[in-house]
């Protein structure tokens, strides 16, 4: 799915990253049908000539610099032909996603916000240049998100093709028969005909109780024994039908990914997990990298804005932004602690989805491409690991698919 930079794009902030799982060398990658088609569509739609100028391989990934020059008569002024950009795309086993670095690394997390606020946040994010909208059925705000997206499309600010929209299958809909109806409800709420990415939100399923996201009886969660492998097969069918471009998972551990990979026809494109300096999960990150599964970090700032009732009794990362190490690094680079924590992930090729409904903070979160953390900074942040989680869900510890046992 191409994401055209558009006239508002910052031309010097594009990087192209390609997984080599579908192309064994750079020559084949450049000749790949999907790659060629995506570039052709992009060039045709924008009157831009595309040429590959340089390529290199680093740790199994291809980094290719593309030059984009406006065709004669398409320039907006003197010197416009000299404009050079790079694109970011990721080639998965079954999918190709095309989007700019800002959209890849700074995705919107939309849960736990008051009605009306989310729509304004989505509008502000799109206006600020965000193109990746990360949501979920369980956030209970997809109607509001969809309305905001449609409004921006109608205003001509963005097109559907320029957006990368994600949702997640909730735990009460793990039964294969419920997977497609749940997606259709999400598509209806978002006023869309397809999703760019659809994730299994959590490996543990819940019993389906009408109107209840977390069905509890006698202080016990009503869990189901539905196997996420069976759920995944139903997810694969959504790709076959063209209802979603790519599929992935969230909150899966290494052993669960290994089990899924052993039977999957379509490899998960993404594993979205909690990740920050207090929870670095190096084995999980390395495993995903070795299997070309993109890692997306939720709660990258430690979720400091939670109300007290949602803060864990102990081992909670809510004060991560106040950590002395983070503050010292921020002062050294003349950046905010939040910007340092987001840059920490970006430099490790990990996408992040910080939650914010403040237009000023949404803009600030995007301003992390004008500095670089030193190796000693990265190591200092990695050394903060305490294995502290925002998302613990201790009530599910007894379930065979509880994912946080081996982390």
Q: Which of 130, 137, 139, 278 is catalytic?
A: 139
What is the C-alpha separation between 277 and 302, in angstroms, rounded? Answer: 9
The string of DSSP codes covering 49-117 is: EEEEEEEEEETTEEEEEEEEEEPTT--SSTTGGG-----EEEE-SS-EEEE-HHHHHB-EE--S--TTH
Sequence-distant contacts of 281-287: CB under 8 A, at least 24 apart: 281/407, 282/382, 283/254, 284/253, 284/254, 284/407, 285/348, 285/350, 287/254, 287/257, 287/258
Residue 60 Ramachandran class (φ > 0 left, ψ -120 to 50 alpha, else beta): left
Give Cα 182 to chain centroid, integer Å.
20
Answer yes or no: are the C-beta atoms of 118 and 357 closer than 8 Å: yes
Strand bridging mode 164-169 / 195-200: parallel
Instruction: Tell me the longest C-alpha to C-alpha distance in the chain.
Output: 72
Query: Can 139 be counted among the known catalytic residues?
Result: yes
What is the C-alpha separation between 371 and 28, in angstroms, rounded? Answer: 34
Cα-Cα-Cα-Cα torsion 152, 154, 158, 160, nearest 10 degrees, comes to 110
Q: Which residues are catalytic?
A: 139
């Amino acid at each position: 799915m191409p994401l055209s930079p558009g006239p508002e794009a910052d031309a010097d902030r594009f990087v192209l990253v390609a997984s080599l799982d579908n192309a064994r060398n750079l020559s084949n990658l450049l000749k790949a049908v999907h790659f060629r088609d995506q570039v052709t569509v992009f060039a045709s739609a924008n009157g831009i000539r595309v040429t590959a100028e340089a390529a290199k391989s680093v740790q199994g990934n291809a980094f290719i610099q593309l030059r984009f020059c406006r065709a004669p008569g398409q320039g907006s002024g003197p010197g416009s032909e000299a404009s050079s950009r790079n694109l970011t795309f990721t080639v998965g086993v079954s999918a190709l996603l095309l989007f700019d670095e800002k959209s890849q690394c700074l995705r919107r997390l939309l849960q736990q916000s008051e009605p009306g606020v989310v729509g304004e946040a989505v509008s502000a994010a799109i206006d600020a240049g965000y193109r990746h909208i990360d949501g979920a059925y369980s956030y209970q705000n997809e109607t509001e998100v969809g309305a905001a997206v449609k409004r921006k499309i109608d205003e001509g600010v963005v097109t559907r093709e320029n957006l990368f929209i994600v949702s997640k299958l909730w735990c009460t809909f793990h039964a294969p028969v419920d997977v497609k109806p749940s997606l259709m409800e999400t598509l209806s709420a978002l006023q869309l005909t397809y999703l760019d990415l659809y994730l299994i939100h959590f490996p543990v399923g819940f019993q389906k109780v009408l109107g209840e996201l977390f069905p509890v009886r006698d202080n016990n969660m009503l869990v189901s024994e539905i196997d996420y492998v069976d759920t995944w097969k139903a997810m694969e069918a959504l790709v076959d039908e063209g209802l979603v471009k790519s599929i992935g998972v969230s909150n899966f551990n290494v052993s669960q990914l290994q089990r899924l990979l052993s039977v999957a026809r379509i490899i998960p494109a993404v594993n979205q997990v909690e990740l920050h300096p207090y929870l670095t999960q190096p084995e999980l990150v390395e495993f995903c990298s070795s299997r070309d599964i993109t890692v997306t970090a939720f709660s990258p700032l430690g979720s400091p804005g939670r109300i007290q009732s949602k803060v864990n009794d102990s081992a909670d990362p809510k004060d991560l932004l106040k950590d002395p190490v983070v503050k010292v690094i921020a002062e050294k680079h003349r950046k905010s602690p939040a910007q340092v924590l987001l840059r920490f992930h970006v430099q490790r090729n990990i996408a992040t989805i910080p939650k914010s409904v403040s237009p000023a903070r949404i803009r600030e979160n995007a301003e992390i491409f004008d500095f670089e953390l030193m190796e000693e900074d990265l190591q200092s942040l990695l050394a903060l690991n305490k294995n502290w989680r925002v998302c613990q869900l201790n009530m599910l510890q007894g379930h065979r698919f509880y994912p946080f046992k081996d982390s």
